[in-house]
Structure 1
């Protein structure tokens, strides 16, 4: 038993350790966000609603069938349904029935409604695709921001190690009388400034990680980590295409245009649906009803002992009164429940046509509203095309500019690296003071940081162009 308990503990702690050591790649983050991001889930709900709307449209072709049943008691002065006499009594009555109806013609609105529901579902799917593209880019940007923050910290830490080495060397030179005390103070100030920058950089890493985790829908911020990977700059072949070529691809592949086009088709379908109200509607119906009562039934008749005869007429010639036997019904127990339902049932069936004549211009006004919505949808489609062109041009130019900025940053970093090496050599032999050395070091750090920022900025902007070019989000290469 102890061995089993020990094994369970090992498995438990192993799982916990594995959960804590989990490091997310960019591909894993994107795939996880596409399944778990709240905005994606909300858009998926719209798709589910559109599917329900399609089912509603299909249901319009199915007959409507309803059943009803009631059992009631009436107490007081009511008519005896057996004798037809008003009397004080308590009567129980039961009735039941089934009715069915189906629309045979309604101006083809049922068919048009089904077509519209299919378009609505298609529009919802395009919206979901666009949301996934937006979330994937947002995740990629947040992920690259974390990497930039981490590598920025590595740069600061590496430079801090250089500063510590120079601090010790400067102490030795000051004690030997080779360098003035001011150089040591300058190095100490530089060291303190670097510590402050490293604290800010660590905080920025945590903030970036939390932002990425929230985008993914992960709440365990403390144990959330990403893979420390240095992404290379590659794949700029996409920029060999002209901006016009990218725009044409975007118009074919991007969801923005598909959404606007589908909304225009929906608006046109609404016009057809509105005009369908001008036509008559033809419905078929069928009803079956039966009833049962707890009231007694007539089983025979006997002479009324109080008044055995009753006058039924008068002979005008002789003024002789004509009489007949005055009988009263005798009541027996009601028939069994099933027998009454069988005897008292009945059916009705037929057709019903409704012809619209005048409804306060409601139909005409609705048609005009729908036609206005078509024009609005056409303008929105035109605007979507213009916006897409502008966004593609902007993304294309941004990617080109980011690549040039990255190349320039590499050249500047290389130049400052050599300048820093030269300043270090001069400082080590006492030919330059600590202030000039610190300034050279700061310039070198800045160019390293700028090269790193330009690198990730270019990678992200290149992926934006690739998405516009029609590359699926799951196939983007980093």
Structure 2
């Protein structure tokens, strides 16, 4: 029982700590950026581009390759150590160390490295752009959650007011001062307000689920949003967010614009690298090599056997006497040598056959590759023009977005400040209606109408406020200040 009690206490503490763990905007943005698919894909692509830069830098390092080989030769072949034809089976082995280095190529390697450096920086800037897009999206849904939560508060106040009026009216109806119709009308309004409260809570839950979806967060994970007072969210004066001023700053700090500027520099370097391929290139090469060979069969003279003799037509005169010359009949026992004896003299041959070479090579493109090289050069020029066109289009879109955002922010600001007057007059009308209703000079329907007007005014003003805050924050975002609510 003690263990069960300790487990239960630990579970309660864990749940309590999770429930108290609130998510502010910064935490939401950080989590979304870390887990967003597009940001992760852009990061992988940036790392691939960084590897291409690393590969381009390797061109400055001399190349080197080691090529060992071993095998057997059969039939008519060339002995690799004598370069003569032989029909003897051979065991051979060769080793070679070779490589080279471009010593002059009209800056091809250097410009290729520069192009990859700019492209790598642009790729990592793309990661920043995707992160900014995610941040802006998260901020939008985060403010929607805050707005939905405020709507719950307004709906609860509405229910409380209607309930209070219902209780007062019930007492008067019971005392016979008011007809039961008044009580029925307020009861209907109370049911409507309660339904609105349920709807507001449902909308809040849906807003939370939507925000979780944007964050790529499990829908079952406990999640509570930190609610900063919307009145305390800092907003720059509209005079400091003039569209021409914001655009002048955005053109230099927005990731998309920075990425295009970097890619244009990379394309300019790529043009120079492509142009260098049209001119001669000079390479310094070297080669170190040696080889060994040994026949796989040989005659072992210790195994020669005389099996007979055969007289020939020749004679030898010895002291006036002729003696026949005999030709011995012998048998040569050819034996296969062991694998280990085949390597006899290995180091001696490798030392004697060791050769070295160093040379300078010039390659001049005349016809075979000139066409493709020239096409690549022309294509790199067109790539640069295409990038400049895309950059111009992106700059125009940015400027149009900023001016549109400024227009929307100005309209939202005016709508927000005008909403104060609407709420104020609706509140006065409701207060007067309540007093007239209490003394029996106003019908219940008229009271409910004024109450609903006040509710709609408050809800509309709440929407105006969050819309105003977001659109002002959007201008601050273009200005390069990011998204912040504190």
Report the TM-score range of the alignment, normalised by the length of the smaller protein.
0.7 to 0.9
2:372 maps to which of 362, 369, 384: 362
TM alignment of 1:311-390, pairs within 5 A? 333-334=341-342, 335-358=344-367, 359=369, 361-390=371-400
2:46 & 2:16 partners in 1: Cα distance? Answer: 39
Tell me the alpha carbon deviations over residues 6-52 of structure 1, each in whole angstroms, 9 at most, x when there is no partner: 88886675445323321112232233334443333222223222221
The 2-side partners of 1:221 and 1:139 are apart by 19
> Is 1:398 matched up with 2:408?
yes
Structure 2 residue aligned with 1:291: 291
Q: Is the 8 A contact 1:107 1:276 kept in 2?
A: yes
Aligned to 1:44: 43
Aligned to 1:411: 421
**Displacement after TM superposition at 1:416 (Å):** 0.8
Asked if structure 2 preserves the Cα contact closer than 8 Å seen for 1:278 and 1:356, the reply is yes
Shift in Å at residue 230 of structure 1? 1.5
Asked if 1 retains the 8 angstrom alpha-carbon contact of 2:173 and 2:180, the reply is yes
Q: State the shift of 1:209 in Å.
A: 1.5
* Residue 316 (structure 2) aligns with: none
- Tell me the equivalent position of 2:210: 211
Contact 2:257 2:391 in 1 (8 A): yes
- Cα pair 1:109 1:276 within 8 Å, conserved: yes
Instruction: Give the Cα separation in 1 of the matches to 2:289 and 2:28.
Output: 63
Describe the superposition over 1:46-101 as per-residue Cα deviations: whole angstroms up to 9, x where unpaired. Answer: 32222212211111111221122233345x645584995436x5x54333322212
Report SS of the residue matched to 2:276. Answer: helix
1:194-250 CA-partner distances (Å, limit 9, x unpaired): 233222222221222122223333325440111133222543325345332222222
Written as runs of structure 1 = structure 2, the 5 A alignment for 1:191-206 is: 191-206=190-205
Cα-to-partner distance string for 1:136-191 (whole Å, 9 max, x where unaligned): 22222111111100110111111012222223333344444444444333323322
Q: Are the counterparts in 2 of residues 21 and 223 from structure 1 also a CA contact under 8 Å?
A: no
Q: Is the 8 A contact 1:173 1:179 kept in 2?
A: yes
Q: How does 1:7-156 map to 2 (within 5 A)?
A: 14-74=13-73, 77-79=75-77, 81=79, 84-86=85-87, 91-156=90-155
Q: Which residue of the partner structure matches residue 279 of structure 1? A: 279
What is the CA–CA distance in structure 2 between the aligned matches of 1:206 and 1:295, rounded to whole Å?
Answer: 87
Aligned mate of 1:439, from 440, 449, 471: 449
- 2:141–2:207 Cα contact (<8 Å) kept: yes
Separation of aligned partners in 1, 2:467 and 2:379: 47
The residue matched to 1:43 in structure 2 has which SS?
A: helix
Q: Secondary structure at the match of 1:144?
A: helix
Aligned partners of 2:444 and 2:8: how far apart in 1? Answer: 58
In structure 1, the residue matched to 2:222 is: 223
TM-score (norm 2): 0.82
Separation in 1 of the partners of 2:409 and 2:394? 22
* 30-39 or 348-357, larger mean C-alpha shift: 30-39
> Equivalent residue of 1:236, what SS?
coil
Q: For residues 477 and 145 of structure 1, do their structure 2 counterparts lie closer, same or farther at Cα, with a shift above 3 Å needed? A: closer
Q: Which runs of structure 2 are paired with 1:263-274 in the superposition (5 Å)?
A: 263-274=263-274
CA separation in 2, counterparts of 1:85 and 1:370? 56
Q: Where does the alignment leave 5 or more consecutive residues of structure 1 unmatched?
A: 308-327
CA contact (8 A) 1:210 1:221 kept: no
Listed one character per residue, the Cα deviations across residues 289-319 of structure 1 (whole Å, up to 9, x for unaligned) are 233345259899999x999xxxxxxxxxxxx
Bigger Rg, structure 1 or 2 = 2
Q: What residue number does 2:323 align with?
A: none
Which stretch shows the higher mean deviation, 339-348 or 251-260? Answer: 339-348
Q: Distance in 2 between matches of 1:339 and 1:297?
A: 20
Find the aligned partners of 1:185 and 1:78 in 2 and give their Cα distance. Answer: 117
